[in-house]
Chain A
Amino acid sequence: MVSAEEVARIIEAYPADRRFALAAMQDMQNEFNYVPEEGLEMLAEHLGCPIAQLFAMATFYKALSLTPKGKHIIKICNGTACHIRGAMNLVTGVKRELNIEPGETTEDGLFSVEIVNCVGSCALAPVMLVDGIYHNKLRVEQVPGIIDSYRAKDGEQHD
């Protein structure tokens, strides 16, 4: 649950000026893994603008999400270089392993899968990132092992 104090702390770091709306929402995204509704309300009040304008931004920019994302974020790069070196096969592999479509989060809240456009490592294509860690020149048969390693790590923490 997101507390009003935490939201207030993020918002009040910025002057009451529309030009900081995106930055404040990105901070919320980083902090909570999504932009909560109460966050939009409080930000609208702080900036003195209609909440609809912030909602428009939150749905326009890909960096922002209105629903919580998973604990581990898997990004499969589908930039041109990765695409012609088999990125879509990686997508199929991840879909089979997690039973979710890109853009979705697993029921246990562990993984979110996203297809992204070019992470700037074209020379190492195809690339998949898990929580910002690069897995390069990846072959589809390596995908289950990588996902299992994150499951195992979480399992250890619970024990």
Chain B
Amino acid sequence: MTKRTEKILVCCGTGCIANGALDVAAAIEAEVAARNLDVEVSVDVVRTGCSGECEQGPVVRLMPRDTMYYRVKESDASAIIDSLEGDPVEKLLLKKDGMQVEHMDENPFYALQHKVVLKDVGIIDPLSLDDYIAHGGYEGLKRALEMTPEHIIDEVDKSGLRGKGGAGFPTGRKWRTAAGYDVFPKYIVCNGDEGDPGAFMDGSTMEGSPHAVIEGMIIGALAIGAEEGILYIRDEYALARDHIQKAIDSAYEAGILGDSILGTSHKLHLSIVRGGGAFVCGESTALMASIEGRVGEPRAKYIRSVQRGLFDHPTVLNNVETLASIPTILRDGSEEYAKLGTENSKGTKVFAMVGKVKHTGLVEVPMGTTLRTLIYDIGGGIIDDRPFKAIQTGGPSGGCIPESLLDLPVDFDTLTEHGAMMGSGGMIVMDDRSCMVEVARYYVDFLCEESCGKCTPCREGLRQMRAILTDICEGRGQEGDIELLERICHTMEDASLCALGRTAANPVLTTIKFFRDEYEAHIKEHRCPAGVCAELTQFVIDAAACTGCGMCMRACPADAISGEKKQAHTIDPAKCIACGSCREACHFSAVLTEGRSA
């Protein structure tokens, strides 16, 4: 009698681990071991990568019956094992409009997505080469080994794939240029130095599907004629490095990497270089300087890296998500991939949707999906149904997009035309309690810290912008500050050495363009409309709305709130540090803000 195989998939991405997924996995494993289960059922606890719905984690999925459980605790292990043979555990199912949703594709968070890069993430065991192969892994490589380099490049070219790190350079064209130089050795480098705050798709891809990245690198190496490859992985991504290293080791053992790729005469050796914790090293020339053992400063690109890159040899640098798209393109053909997306942006893009949106996590959608679909249909709208104010895309190089532009399709070109950019795929949703001037200061401050200091416009421009924005946030803004910021921005755009400085103006220019009234309220009225800038905000309790529940009092870190039970509470302005904890804690919208008279 054949055994029925049941799989229990426990998401162990960074987000779920932070929510206690490892303990849940251990509890389920222990329960399986202790139970001496029915002979017909064998259960595998598979430690998978990120399923995307980090906020609802830890996420556990039963296959093949396809039951998704959310917010699982260790104590649920027994009930989960019981449910293999019976009804699903109701309290762990997703609730949607009063109904319980059992299957993954019925959950709107997944139903509107189309997964190419993330197709195996959360499904396979990232540490198992066999599991990857069972899901069609290394089929693309096998096809590539039967093709000429020229033919591989044609295929990638026809797919329309563009660099998903943000710049959107056509991958096929990059490979073709590098293939054209007869200088050896050549290198293929994977950019895993994902540094944009608010973006974590590359980390999750490396954690959840490391072999897809490796397979993409091997195919790229065949196309350009490289025999050495390096994965430059961010210092903070310990789990991603660990999974990639283990995947490299198992690929060597299986004869997929090394001096004879799958028995052919092709060679490729891969190794990991750990980043040093510098944002600018995500820039191509700085990244290569860092690999060479130097300070990670960019250089002027009179000569491009495809001609003279790493160790002055032809080098192709591709982003994690780009490389992870390659195996599918080779396996299923370029036509299939090119069916997805818009005319000039083919395929899919992974976004990290975070901030004040109900369902946060990773989503992968066809290019051209509108921001409104992303935020409201997939993301479920704004937390507490508060008013939407802006979505910040593209990290520190991107911009803030207002409500009026939410119906724009997201692809490489459309957002850029409006002064923002799709960028690497971070999407931060902001509500009416986010101050746009403060957000601009936040990004400028980030870039000021991360600017390498080599060129003057970036180094000094950011410093001056930070000083001006800090003055505005702290109530010292002056007439003319907005115009001065704009002038500095334009100088930086024109004169900075690398993209860090050239795009640093975007967060400032877009917030000025779309939210100029907020800047003016800070400067002219000494008021922060969002109630964020402490020096310009005073919190008061609306005595008519306050029920005296005491939630705000418990939340206050400064002991500034007092009041009897069921009586209206009051805030002592002398003690208040204007952190806003009380406003977040209040369920009755009784905490209001007003400007602070200077």
A71 within 8 Å of B (CB atoms) = no
Interface centre among B196, B200, B293, B352 (most CB of A within 10 A): B293
A125 surroundings in chain B (CB, below 8 A): 354-355
Residue in B197, B204, B294 whose beta carbon sits within 8 Å of that of A18 in the complex: B294
Question: Does A62 contact B278, Cβ atoms closer than 8 Å?
Answer: yes
Q: Cβ of B554 and Cβ of A141 under 8 Å apart?
A: yes
Chain B min CB distance to A14 (Å): 10
Number of residue pairs A-B, CB distance < 8 angstroms: 152
A76: Cβ under 8 A from any B Cβ? no
**Known contacts A123-B360, A136-B18: does B274 contact A117 (CB below 8 Å)?**
no
Residue B76 at the chain A interface, CB threshold 8 Å: no
**Is B457 at the interface (CB under 8 A from chain A)?**
no
Complex contact A60–B236 (CB within 8 A): no
Contact (Cβ within 8 A) A122 B274: no
Q: Mark B213-254, 1 if CB is under 8 A from A, else 0.
A: 000000000000000000000011110000000000000000
B277 within 8 Å of A (CB atoms) = yes
Those of B138-193 within 8 Å (CB) of chain A:
none
Residue A13 lies at the interface, judged by CB distance under 8 Å to chain B: no
Contact status of A84 and B293, CB under 8 A, knowing A118-B195, A120-B200: no
The residues in A between 106 and 138 inclusive whose CB is less than 8 angstroms from any CB of B are: 116-125, 127, 132, 134, 136
Can you list, as one digit per residue, whether each of A59-92 has a CB less than 8 Å from chain B (1) or not (0)?
0111110000000000000111101111001001
**B355, A80: Cβ atoms closer than 8 Å:** yes
| Chain B contact residue count (CB 8 A cutoff) | 62
Q: Is the CB of A118 within 8 A of B196?
A: yes
B576 on the A face (CB < 8 A): no
For residue A93, CB closer than 8 A to chain B, the reply is yes
State the CA gap A125–B352 with chains docked (Å): 13
CA gap between A80 and B441 in the complex, in Å: 12
> B424-462 toward A: CB 8 Å interface, digit per residue (1/0)?
001010100010000100110010001010000000000
In this complex, the member of A19, A22, A78, A84 whose beta carbon has the largest number of chain B beta carbons within 10 angstroms is A84
Q: How far is the CA of A93 from the CA of B579 in the complex (A)?
A: 11
* Cβ contact within 8 Å between A84 and B557: no
Partner of B203, one of A53, A79, A86, A120: A120
Interface size bracket, A side: 35 or more
Partner among A89, A122, A141 whose Cβ is within 8 Å of the Cβ of B354: A122
Find out whether the CB atom of B198 lies under 8 angstroms from the CB atom of A61.
Answer: no
Are the C-beta atoms of A84 and B434 separated by less than 8 Å? yes
Interface membership of B580, Cβ < 8 A: yes
| Chain A residues with CB under 8 A of B439 | 80, 84
Verify A81–B18 contact, CB threshold 8 A: no
- A21, B293: Cβ atoms under 8 Å? yes
- In the bound complex, residues from chain B placing their C-beta under 8 Å from that of A22 are 273-274, 276, 290, 293
Contacts of B584 in A (CB 8 A): 86
Say whether A57 contacts B15, CB under 8 Å.
no
Interface centre among B276, B292, B579, by most chain A C-beta atoms within 10 angstroms, is B276
Closest B residue by C-beta to A120 = B200
B581 pairs with A60, CB closer than 8 A: no
Known contacts A62-B278, A84-B439; is-contact A89 B293 (Cβ 8 Å): no
Query: Do residues A123 and B55 form an inter-chain contact, with CB atoms below 8 A?
Result: yes
Query: Which of B18, B55, B195, B199: most chain A CB closer than 10 A?
Result: B18
Q: Answer whether residue A4 sits at the interface, using C-beta atoms and an 8 A cutoff.
A: no
Q: Is B361 an interface residue (CB 8 A)?
A: yes
Distance in angstroms from B198 CB to nearest chain A CB is 4
Does B28 lie at the interface of the complex (its beta carbon under 8 Å from any beta carbon of A)? Answer: no
Whether the pair B18, A124 counts as a contact (CB closer than 8 A) is yes
| Interface residue A17 (Cβ < 8 Å from any Cβ of B) | yes
Which residues of chain A come closer than 8 Å to B356, judged between CB atoms? 84-85
B-chain residues with CB within 8 Å of residue A61 when the two chains form the complex = 276-278, 296
Q: Does B77 count as interface, using CB distance less than 8 angstroms? A: no
Q: Mark A33-61, 1 if CB is under 8 A from B, else 0.
A: 00000000000000000000100110011
Q: Is the CB of A123 within 8 A of B296?
A: no
Contacts of A60 in B (CB 8 A): 276, 278, 295-296, 452
Q: Which 6 A-B pairs have the closest CB atoms?
A: A61-B276, A123-B54, A134-B18, A62-B277, A79-B197, A122-B354
**20 residue pairs from A and B, CB less than 8 Å apart:** A18-B292, A22-B274, A22-B290, A26-B276, A57-B276, A63-B275, A64-B276, A64-B277, A80-B392, A89-B581, A92-B579, A116-B236, A118-B195, A119-B236, A120-B236, A121-B15, A122-B54, A122-B355, A124-B19, A141-B556
Which residues of A are at the interface with B, using a C-beta cutoff of 8 A? 17-23, 26, 53, 56-57, 60-64, 78-81, 83-86, 89, 92-93, 116-125, 127, 132, 134, 136, 139-141
